[in-house]
Amino acid sequence: MQSERIIMAHGSGGRLSQRLVAEVFQQAFANPYLDQMNDAAVLPPAQGQPALTTDSFVVSPLFFRGGDIGKLAVCGTVNDLAVTGAAPKYLTAGFVLEEGLLINDLNRIVQSMAATAETAGVTLVAGDTKVVERGSADKLFINTTGLGFIPEGTQLNPLQVKAGDKIIVSGTLGDHGIAIVSEREGLSFSTPVSSDCAPLNHFIQGFLMPGVKCMRDPTRGGLATTLNEIALQAKVGMLISEEHIPLLPAVSGACGMLGFDPLYLANEGKVIAIVAPEIEARVLALMRRHPLGRQASAIGTVTSYEPGLVLLETVIGAKRILSMLEGEHLPRIC
Amino acid sequence: MQSERIIMAHGSGGRLSQRLVAEVFQQAFANPYLDQMNDAAVLPPAQGQPALTTDSFVVSPLFFRGGDIGKLAVCGTVNDLAVTGAAPKYLTAGFVLEEGLLINDLNRIVQSMAATAETAGVTLVAGDTKVVERGSADKLFINTTGLGFIPEGTQLNPLQVKAGDKIIVSGTLGDHGIAIVSEREGLSFSTPVSSDCAPLNHFIQGFLMPGVKCMRDPTRGGLATTLNEIALQAKVGMLISEEHIPLLPAVSGACGMLGFDPLYLANEGKVIAIVAPEIEARVLALMRRHPLGRQASAIGTVTSYEPGLVLLETVIGAKRILSMLEGEHLPRIC
């Protein structure tokens, strides 16, 4: 049983597909919507504006310190909803499996998705599985799509951001990137770094209030790329203070050794919030009360300098341009 | 430009990713929701019950007579919504690209998705792109997830199906399966077979009325597998008449030659409707009025024989059990 592997017939749509669905997916995710087993899940009418987001996950390796591709697939999509102010409610999952994948590995990943979905309070209502020949995919890819609802009155939008607003990050940067690269390259550090992979929706609900203007989760491309995107959309400048950027010593050590800049490394459990100056202290205090926000830090200010320009003030007081990620950094990080 | 290829940096989340999104995806799909370019698309409040479905597409080859993976990805998801009685509204698309894919091929596929989405009247509101190393995927996989809304009063459910109900299929079976296999194997027939790949939502709206109890689109696994699924869910038997099953002569010829049973071949533009006997003639007439339903045919009756048992009455009057697809049939058909 442990050594059973995925074969092409698991993707036929016939009896073996149904057995895989019943034994692996329905087992883990059982709920009244998924159990309808119709071509689409029919959900109860809901209040508020629907928010919809999608992400495909191709992270390599499948398992890493602090998570796995399944946990990541749930967190990534939950977080994309949460940063728009939506309460994530429903998930779909599409699997592309490579012939030869250990069913036991699939099972571990699916169990991890189910546990993470439960933590986040989202229900997986629809799924799909395809199988491709050995060599036509790398083990397993997962797409998750999320549907949430934004309560009336909540409106987050980069267009509300203006000079004087404060930039807060909810914790240490680059943990996920370094966790993946260590796993992949077989590096070991005296203090191993775990991925920060976590669903942020409950955490975000704890500090979401009028005056929070825009949130993002700095995944691929890291803090630097995300700030550049917001600055471009909002047509504002930004000034970030290097000394206020929270970093684990192990991450900053690994970055030095490997030549990575932590500001471009992916995070999977952090949020950037841009808030009106008068609520900065309150948001920070609320974040720090939650286990996911203990190291929250105010890292900079929105400016009226050149629109789209993000400047970093270094610890020795020099200013340099923090541009968007150019070229390739770390492939298959999520 | 024609020969430009996807490189790993297109998946970095940085500047090249953004350029790909702007030049390929936003170009084709531009609309106010996608153009928000936030982590999730925020949609207007909607009436009715949400219906949600997801499908990953791994069809090989990418282009075939009658369609391509992009058209298929839109039709497949639109149709899964439509057969639940939902009006499909929004789509998301997640792409996994293999390093080395021709950007020109990607462009053709994306244009085809955009054209099909327009025909179906659905809006692509969110997307995601990942790139994996050469050899870690086969050119291109697409996940589409669809959100639609079911108008109040519409309720389709296999549990409503009962003995005496009529089974209607909207047209010829197996066209998609034979189109793919011909393309893949380089077979040419005197009358080439095109995939039936089409969005069914407008067609279905034309005959949806009280008394239509359950609909399915017979994709992977074909008519036989789909009828078995319904029979199991509804705990009814079925008796199907072989002579009433519409088949293109070219498909039945190809099946004979290649040893396929058309009742197990995938369809991508057909619907099976199970209806109360008193509306059978009306539904058939309405289907036949539409270009997608010209060859609609009543193929059988729901029975009170052994629950879950689907019987086929052959042209010579023998009855045989039509079981669910066993083993592998045609891999990567969708």
Q: Which of A37, A52, A96 sits opposite B40 (nearest CB)?
A: A52
Residue carrying structure tokens 């190291």: A295
* Both tokens assigned to A70: 């399944």
Q: Give how far A322 is from chain B: nearest CA, Å.
A: 13
CA distance B56 to B79: 14
* Residues A64 and A32 placed together within one structural domain of the fold: yes
Q: Are strands A272-275 and A212-216 parallel, antiparallel or unpaired?
A: antiparallel
Same structural domain, B223 and B315? yes
B286-317 tens-digit pLDDT: 999 999 999 999 999 999 989 999 999 999 99
Integer Cα distance of B222 and B324 in angstroms: 9
* Last-in-domain residue among B129, B150, B171: B150
* CATH number of the domain that residue A204 is part of: 3.90.650.10
* Other CB atoms within 10 A of residue A67 CB: 25
* Structure confidence by residue, pLDDT tens digits, A134-162: 999 999 999 999 999 999 989 899 999 99
Q: What CATH number did the domain enclosing A18 receive?
A: 3.30.1330.10
Same domain for B167 and B287, yes or no, is: yes
- Asked if residue B201 lies in contact with residue B283, where contact means CB atoms within 8 angstroms, the answer is no
Q: Shortest Cα distance from B53 to chain A (angstroms)?
A: 5
Please tell me the number of Cα atoms within 13 Å of B8 on its side-chain side: 13
Please indicate whether, in this complex, the C-beta atoms of B325 and A58 are within 8 angstroms of each other.
no
Same domain assignment for residues B43 and B87: yes
Let me know if residue A333 belongs to a domain: no
**Mutation test of the interface with chain A: which of B10, B17, B18, B42, choosing the one with the most A Cβ atoms within 10 A?**
B42
Q: Are B166 and B239 in contact, with CB atoms under 8 Å apart?
A: no
- Pair B172, B146 in one domain: no
- Picking from B48, B143, B147, the nearest residue to A147 by CB comes out as B147
Instruction: Tell me if A138 and B132 make a contact (CB, 8 A cut-off).
Output: yes
Per-residue confidence band for B3, with pLDDT thresholds at 50, 70 and 90: low
Assess whether A177 and A313 both reside in one domain: yes
Residue after which a domain boundary falls, among B120, B150, B180: B150
Q: Is residue B121 part of a domain?
A: yes
Query: Which stretch of A35-39, A90-94, A229-233, B39-43 has the lowest confidence by average pLDDT?
Result: A35-39
Is B327 within a domain? Answer: no
Do residue A133 and residue A202 come from a single domain? no
In a domain, B162, yes or no: yes
- Distance from A199 to chain B by nearest Cα, in Å? 15
Identify the domain boundary among A150, A177, A206.
A150
Most B CBs within 10 Å, among A19, A98, A145, A325, to test the B interface: A145
- The answer to which of A63-77, A116-130, A181-195, B118-132 has the lowest mean pLDDT is A181-195
Total domains, chain A: 2
Q: Which residue of A has its CA nearest to B232?
A: A37
Residues A147, A109: Cα–Cα separation, whole Å? 21
Task: Quickly state the pLDDT bin for B38 (edges 50, 70, 90).
Answer: confident
Amino acid at the residue A132? V
Q: Are residues A144 and A192 in the same domain?
A: no
The helix or strand, by DSSP H or E, that contains position A15, with its residue range, turns out to be helix A15-20
Please report how the helices B175-185 and B249-258 are oriented relative to each other, as an axis angle in degrees rounded to 10: 50
Residue A74 φ then ψ, to 5°: -75, -50
Dihedrals φ, ψ of A195, to 5°?
Answer: -60, 145
Q: Is B182 contained in some domain?
A: yes
Distance from CA of B244 to the nearest CA of A (A): 24
Give me the interface pTM, i.e. the ipTM.
0.96
Give the model's pLDDT for residue A62: 98
- What is the mean predicted confidence (pLDDT) over B187-201? 92
Q: Are residues B131 and B195 in the same domain?
A: no
Q: What is the pLDDT of residue A191?
A: 85
**So what's the pLDDT on residue A3?**
67
| pLDDT surpasses 80 at A329 | no
Say what the pLDDT of residue B1 is.
Answer: 46
For B42, nearest residue in chain A (alpha carbons): A51
Mean pLDDT computed over B247-251: 96
Place of tokens 């087993």: A37
Say if residue A212 is in the same domain as residue A194.
Answer: yes
Output the CA torsion B210→B216→B222→B227 (10° steps).
-60
- Is A141 within 8 Å of A56 (Cβ atoms)? yes
State the nearest Cα–Cα gap between B284 and chain A, in angstroms. Answer: 23
Considering the domain architecture, whether residues A195 and A267 belong to the same structural domain is answered as: yes
Could you give the CA distance from residue A310 to residue A323 in angstroms, rounded to a whole number?
7
A21 and A90 belong to one structural domain = yes
Cβ–Cβ pairs < 8 A, chains A and B: 274
- Domain extent for B222: 158-321
Domain contains A117 = yes
Residue A326 lies in a domain: no
Does a structural domain hold residue B332?
no
Is-contact A184 A261, C-beta < 8 A? no
- Average pLDDT, integer, range B272-287: 98
| A26 contacts: CB under 8 Å, gap ≥ 6 | A34, A35
Radius of gyration of the CA atoms of chain A, in A: 21
The pLDDT of residue B71 is: 98
